[in-house]
Homo-oligomer: A and B are copies of this chain.
Amino acid sequence: MTRRVSIVDVAREARVSVATVSRILSNSDYPVSPETRARVLEAARRLDYVPDAFARALVRRRTGIIALTVHDIADPYFAEIARAVEDASQASGYRALICSTDRDPDKELQVVRSFRAFRPDGLIFAGGCVEDAAHVEKLRRGVGSLAVRGTRVVALSRHPTGVPMVRVDNVAVARAATEHVISLGHRRIAFICGQPNFTTSTDRLEGYRQALAAYGLPFDPDLIVIGWYTWEGGYRATRELLARGVDFSAVVASTDIMAIGALVALREAGIHVPDRVSLVGINDLPVASVVDPPLTTVSFRVRDLAAVAVRLILDALDGREIPQDTVLDFDLKVRRSTRPFPV
């Protein structure tokens, strides 16, 4: 293995000091004679020199890294987030370091802890947070020890740890989804919920409740079914719902992914969507419009969430004040999985 080419080699090649090289290759507004600059640039090019990020991070107080925790990078929602974080980071010369937590509190803690070794300039929590007091406290501590060392932290959903948030109002989102089917005349509306105790889950369930209440409809626990935030989860939850034998003409799913799982289960059971059952999702992922029927869903700019979060982190790094709670808009996208009731 050849010795790596360092700033010393470039300095020697250009017959200047390392300080001069450093000034030209990093701190660009420092006065340097044009000839020297040219000679150094040429030497760096000839040697194919790339400054070492590790050495640089050691002496600067910045690592150029933005850490991102997602529940599962293979989940289309988080893949979108990851892509947006990557793009926004790269545009400002930062790099994204991504880790999946699988919605496992312990793994989340461990991920946050392991991030500390990299002293990231920013940390973004993408998924919902477990609402367990003990866990939240541990997480708050983990976040604190990062923050105290300069990492700016932002969450993309309601986060009980008290970090700044960029998010949509999930209560309102689920309420909009539910009110849509209510306004179509549906009265017996099932709700497919993701893993309980997550902020996202409780908020969306609450939105569903609020919609019912607003229209004076009874809340029937038999219409609520708890599942997982996956296709399989939506599928199984719907099977369970069907097994209960309760009457319903509409299903609100906590996410598009779960809604698509529900679609499969309904199809298998010979229940036509939307002729016999209307179905609404949340998120408006690309996949929502390619299924049959195209999914009615609540839409918000998933990528904007991430982009704004990155911008806030950069702002905070620049010493600016950043808002504690940024709430983005959403709107209902009516496609063909919902229709009036009765037919």
Contacts and interface: CB of A to CB of B under 8 A. Distances in A.
Interface stretch (A90-98, A180-188, A221-229, A244-252): A90-98
Interface stretch (A79-87, A129-137, A168-176, A206-214): A79-87
Interface string A144-168: 0100111000000000000000000
B54 A58 contact: yes
Contacts of A263: 290, 292
Given A1-B148, A286-B231, A290-B263, A63 B54 contact: yes
Interface residues of A, number: 54
A57 interface: yes
A29 interface: no
A149 B82 contact: no
Question: How many copies of this chain sit in the oligomeric assembly?
Answer: 2
Interface string A82-118: 1100110010000111111000000000000110111
Interface string A1-41: 11010000000000000000000000000000000000000
A217 interface: no
Given A4-B119, A79-B79, A98-B98, 19 more contacts: A4-B149, A50-B113, A51-B117, A54-B55, A54-B58, A55-B58, A72-B83, A73-B79, A73-B83, A74-B79, A74-B83, A86-B99, A87-B100, A95-B97, A96-B98, A97-B97, A264-B290, A287-B287, A290-B291
